[in-house]
Structures are given as C-alpha cells and as structure tokens.
C-alpha cells in the first residue's frame, strides 16, 4: 500500500485541523495510490460529520472527485502511513 506522492501536510476538509489520523481518498495507479489531499477528513469528523454517526465514512462520503479507494491513514513525523484501505 504505497502512496505515489506523499502530501506535505494533511488538513481536514471539514474542520481545518491538522490530521493525525483520518481518511484520504486516492486514485489507484500502477505505481500505487495517488492521494487527493484536498478531500482528507480527520477521524473525528469522519465518524461524526461525514459518515453515518459512529461509523467510518465511505468513499462517496468523503469526496465527489474520481477516486477509487479510501485510505485510513496516520500522520507521524511528517510521514503518512496507510493503515487500511476500502
């Protein structure tokens, strides 16, 4: 689960806070997942504002852009780690 490019910063599209853990839409390529950082959502907003209350969001909840996959990510020391994908 490699990212083609790694965003320098990742801020929540809903609340504007820096994301420590959240959801990132991406398009699948032969080289890996190409992230769409403008549509990233933090865990808190993903579970309360975007998806069904108390449930992780789905790809269509996060972005209207042409994306293939929703990545669950964690940001540590400026690096984006992919925890899972759906």
**Residue 54 in domain:** yes
**Residue 66 in domain:** yes
The pLDDT of residue 2 is 82
**Residue 80 in domain:** yes
The pLDDT of residue 37 is 93
The pLDDT of residue 52 is 66
**Residue 16 in domain:** no
Q: Residue 60: give the domain boundaries.
A: 21-85
DSSP strand pairing (69-76 vs 41-42): unpaired
3-state SS of 46-76 is HHHHHCCCCCCCCHHHHCCCCCCEEEEEEEE
Instruction: Provide the number of structural domains found in the chain.
Output: 1
- List per-residue pLDDT tens for the chain, 86 residues long: 689 998 888 999 999 999 999 999 999 999 999 999 998 999 998 888 776 666 788 888 888 778 899 999 999 887 899 999 88
**Residue 58 in domain:** yes
SS3 at position 86: coil
**Residue 63 in domain:** yes
pTM value is 0.88
Is residue 50 within 8 A of residue 78, CB to CB? The reply is no
């Amino acid at each position: 689960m490699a990212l083609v490019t790694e965003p320098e910063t990742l801020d929540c599209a809903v609340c504007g806070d820096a994301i420590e853990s959240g959801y990132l839409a991406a398009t699948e390529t032969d080289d890996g997942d190409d992230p769409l950082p403008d549509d990233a959502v933090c865990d808190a907003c993903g579970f309360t504002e975007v998806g069904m209350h108390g449930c992780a969001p789905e790809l269509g909840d996060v972005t209207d852009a042409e994306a293939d996959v929703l990545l669950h990510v964690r940001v540590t020391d400026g690096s984006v780690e992919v925890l899972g994908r759906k």
